[in-house]
Amino acid sequence: MIHFDNSYARLPERMFARQPPTAVPGPELLALNRPLAARLGLDADWLASDEGLAVLAGNAVPEGAAPLAQAYAGHQFGGFVPQLGDGRALLLGEVVAPDGARFDIQLKGSGRTPFSRGGDGKAWLGPVLREYIVSEFMAAMGVPTTRALAAVATGEPVFRETPLPGAILTRVASSHIRVGTFQFFAVRQDTDALRALTEHVIARHYPEADGPLGLLDAVVAAQARTVAQWMALGFIHGVMNTDNMAVSGETIDYGPCAFMDVFHPETVFSSIDQGGRYAWINQPQIAVWNLAQFATCLIPLMGERQAAIEAATESVHRFPEAYEAAWLERFAAKLGIADPREQDRALAERLLVVMAGGEADFTRTFAGLADGTARDEFRDPARFDAWAAEWRRRGQPDAALMAAANPRRIPRNHRIEAVIDAAREGDRAPFHALFDAVTHPREDRAEWDDFARAPAPQERVRATFCGT
């Protein structure tokens, strides 16, 4: 059983739409995250039973659940949409873990809601497996992120350009509240709802925050840390809309996400990001833009308007300093520097320049610094040699620090595509093999060596797609 305590469902009814999930004809458990179940205080054996599977598939609503679709708005590629909301997901309820931490349990792909905007509310197998793998890799690397508790095949087709196998992801998050959630009420000038939402988020995520401005300060700091971690892993979110930025600081919505192979700062994978708005190099600036939208929502709660605008602007302007400090800490660790100084920023940046010019693989270069193989990644090793000499003059690198900061394996795009292709044909072994390899990203095992290999030119995936 799942013991729910649903704080969001106790907020004003206009913040969501209550409804049950849509039943599916042939549920089958594809994956169950037993360590995460234990973290939540849930019985994994029960979740794997017929009774638990019915809940994970949306065929049964357990006692105490309060399924609802959350309302939110959002800027999508810079254009504002006043009503978005959970169009293919339902918050089943909240659980309080044994250590007192509160988590949402959400079914993603559970059918049409009032926010579906003509869509079917379903998910197909590919995006479910992608999010399951990538979110759990991010968790293994210590990146704040939503988590994947289970993946279930639904036994029915989902119709996109062609019929595709349906699936549901059970997603876990410290909450699913987004910048766009605040925007939904701000655009409607619903100050009472904004105040209730602000108080809820402070109590849930930032109890030390002093009012709306304190909340803004906390969210700015959290996002600075998270984005710096993305950059240090070569991760490209791909769709950094305000409705995809969680105020908790967790990474959320892994639709067209991808990791770089060959390093180039302007890399884009998302098929819908035609202008490169959300390229790797642009992610910090986009985070600032999104936080400015969040600040705008909070201004009506902050007293006299001009003073509020000035205070909110100052808060958002703290992002660059917080981000640069987090970036330096992350990249210094990747270089084995335990006591980073400001001049180490230039050392790390020069390596990135050499990597871009030498068409070096991002992950393999940093992992290879520890074992002496990084040089092999460069088309022109001489430039790397010059940089490496400077690096060695900095002092003996901390091998343990480098090992912790630099994964040996990432969920490479071509590997994920191969997993999805195999799963569509009924072969799930590649999924489990890749999942095991990337959720132990620092371990060196011979059976995982091939997962660390960079793609051959014909294997490279150059575009990724949203799950809708």
Contact between 141 and 333 under an 8 Å Cβ cutoff? The reply is no
Asked if residue 393 is part of any domain, the answer here is yes
**Model confidence pLDDT, tens digit, residues 130-183:** 999 999 999 999 999 999 999 999 999 999 989 999 999 999 999 999 999 999
* Residue 412, token pair as written in the block: 């490479």
Q: Which amino acid is at 156?
A: E
Q: What is the pLDDT of residue 170?
A: 98
Asked if residue 150 is part of any domain, the answer here is yes
Q: What is the pLDDT of residue 468?
A: 57
DSSP character for 426? T
243 is catalytic: yes
* Residue 134, token pair as written in the block: 């990538």
160: Cα within 13 Å, side-chain hemisphere = 14
- What does 5-68 look like in DSSP terms, one character per residue? --SGGGS-GGGEEE-PPPP-SS-EEEEE-HHHHHHHT--HHHHHSHHHHHHHTTS---TT---E
Q: What is the pLDDT of residue 1?
A: 83
Alpha-carbon gap, residue 82 to 90, rounded angstroms: 20
pTM score above 0.95: yes
Sort residue 118 into left (φ over 0), alpha (ψ -120 to 50) or beta.
left
Asked if residue 388 is part of any domain, the answer here is yes
Asked if residue 68 is part of any domain, the answer here is yes
Closest CA to 131 of 108, 155, 115: 108
CB atoms within 10 A of CB 61: 16
Alpha-carbon gap, residue 80 to 451, rounded angstroms: 40
3-state secondary structure 203-260: HHHCCCCCHHHHHHHHHHHHHHHHHHHHHHCCEECCCCCHHHCECCCCECCCCCCEEC
Asked if residue 243 is part of any domain, the answer here is no
User: Would you call 375 exposed, middle or buried from its count of C-beta atoms within 10 A (0-12, 13-18, 19+)?
Assistant: middle
CB proximity list for 405: less than 8 A, separation 6 or greater: 232, 330, 333, 334, 366
Which of 134, 154, 173 marks a domain boundary?
Answer: 173
Q: What is the pLDDT of residue 206?
A: 98
Alpha-carbon gap, residue 307 to 108, rounded angstroms: 41
Alpha-carbon gap, residue 407 to 276, rounded angstroms: 26
Q: Could you tell me which residues are beta bridge partners of residue 68?
A: 18, 91
Asked if residue 255 is part of any domain, the answer here is no
Give the count of domains, the chain: 2
User: Would you call 447 exposed, middle or buried from its count of C-beta atoms within 10 A (0-12, 13-18, 19+)?
Assistant: exposed
**Model confidence pLDDT, tens digit, residues 414-457:** 999 999 999 999 999 999 999 999 999 999 999 999 999 999 99
Residue 270, SS3 per DSSP = strand
Which of 158, 173, 188 marks a domain boundary?
Answer: 173
* Residue 100, token pair as written in the block: 């007192």
Q: What is the pLDDT of residue 91?
A: 98
* Residue 218, token pair as written in the block: 């906390």
Asked if residue 383 is part of any domain, the answer here is yes
Which of 351, 381, 405 marks a domain boundary?
Answer: 405
User: Would you call 284 exposed, middle or buried from its count of C-beta atoms within 10 A (0-12, 13-18, 19+)?
Assistant: buried
Phi/psi of residue 133, each to 5°? -70, -50
Domain span at 360: 327-405
Q: Which amino acid is at 43?
A: D
Catalytic residue among 86, 104, 243, 273: 243
**Model confidence pLDDT, tens digit, residues 341-372:** 999 999 999 999 999 999 999 999 999 999 99
Residue 377, SS3 per DSSP = helix
Asked if residue 169 is part of any domain, the answer here is yes
Alpha-carbon gap, residue 295 to 183, rounded angstroms: 10
User: Would you call 253 exposed, middle or buried from its count of C-beta atoms within 10 A (0-12, 13-18, 19+)?
Assistant: buried
pLDDT < 70 positions in the chain: 467-468
